[in-house]
Structure 1
């Protein structure tokens, strides 16, 4: 989870250790990653065990504020180098669909402010950016947390026309309690390139349903 890797350690399941983070982006973000050592260790071990049962492990991703975009890049392109491209295209997609996403901005900030900050390298991404990427590329994103898995579905915002049912590609990332994202890999590999995750996971929860419910509640209250 957010571990730093200097020598091919991303090619095998990592050892438990507490990462160091430097996030130059959102200065006012809460420091949830500053957990007591026992809580961090317990969460780490629980997630490691959960992943191992699925034949998976956490690939270390730099904690530089770009971790969400690096994780998506590793899953989508097979490496973390395309994080700037992904950030740019997500921001452009959110801007084009502001009527849908403007209600999901956190911390009492305006949508325009959120977007202006999100365009900057090192700014944390979150649920809105994940939903935007899933919809833009028509993929599902499974988000692993200790004891649970959320699924962001790559449904189009406006689905007025009948579309052919097809199996969407699924990306796999981890969200840690200290507000950090990592990529997921098969224990048996490949450890670089296309992840080719093989995992059958049921009892997952759709984050898109939560967001749509939030939008519905907002619109109902404002009428």
Structure 2
């Protein structure tokens, strides 16, 4: 169930070498248009999970990179604990692929009701890390440029620092229902702005993220209406 990261394009199109620059600009514009449209379309669906867990106390979030991973036995126990918590609060995990993009897929699902836009999410997170280096560099125990370069590559995991960068970039409070014994609920608050929305994720044993919904909402299919620019 471990996660590595692989980039998948939001917009697929063929480009020759002579037109690579214009194609890159076209891709960027299409990414931005899709992201804005989908985000606006689903913004009114926020808040359901928050009502379910309104009595939970969160612990402070400390941005950090991955340094420890559980044994198989510990991960199995954690999975059972998370399952019990989901049942207790009437929540459902919208499972995303464990192909290495799970953190970005889960955030994409919360933002756009589809995990398929994880490349756009990753690109925006890395952009945030690069543009506001002073906010994040102190949490990285390696050369910062090396860290950012790694985060762009397939095979690299999202971590608690990319969660903070995602919260900052998208102006969202990211709420994690975890499998940890002593830490049930973690909130990642955007810096320098009030959160505009909430994103709810499950977090299993440092190795996998899924997207969370109220169980009653999952019974209704939430496929977005097709737009001509999504074809």
TM-score normalised by L of structure 1: 0.64
1:83 matched to 2:118? The reply is yes
The equivalent of 1:101 in structure 2 is 136
Counterparts of 1:118-137 in structure 2 under 5 Å? 118-137=151-170
CA contact (8 A) 1:71 1:173 kept: yes
The equivalent of 1:207 in structure 2 is none
In the TM superposition, residue 94 of structure 1 has moved relative to its aligned partner by 0.9
Following the alignment from structure 2 to structure 1, what is the Cα–Cα distance between the partners of residues 5 and 129? 22
Where in structure 1 are there 5+ consecutive unaligned residues?
Answer: 1-18, 160-165, 195-223
1:64 matched to 2:99? The reply is yes
In the TM superposition, residue 175 of structure 1 has moved relative to its aligned partner by 1.6
The equivalent of 1:200 in structure 2 is none
The equivalent of 1:217 in structure 2 is none
Give the number of the structure whose residues are more often helix, by fraction: 2
The equivalent of 2:4 in structure 1 is 23
TM-score normalised by L of structure 2: 0.62
CA contact (8 A) 1:77 1:193 kept: no
In the TM superposition, residue 135 of structure 1 has moved relative to its aligned partner by 1.1
Following the alignment from structure 1 to structure 2, what is the Cα–Cα distance between the partners of residues 33 and 58? 21
SS of the residue corresponding to residue 113 of structure 1 reads helix
Following the alignment from structure 1 to structure 2, what is the Cα–Cα distance between the partners of residues 173 and 22? 15
The equivalent of 1:169 in structure 2 is 197
The one of the two structures with greater contact order (alpha-carbon pairs below 8 A, sep at least 6) is: 2
The total of aligned residue pairs comes to 160
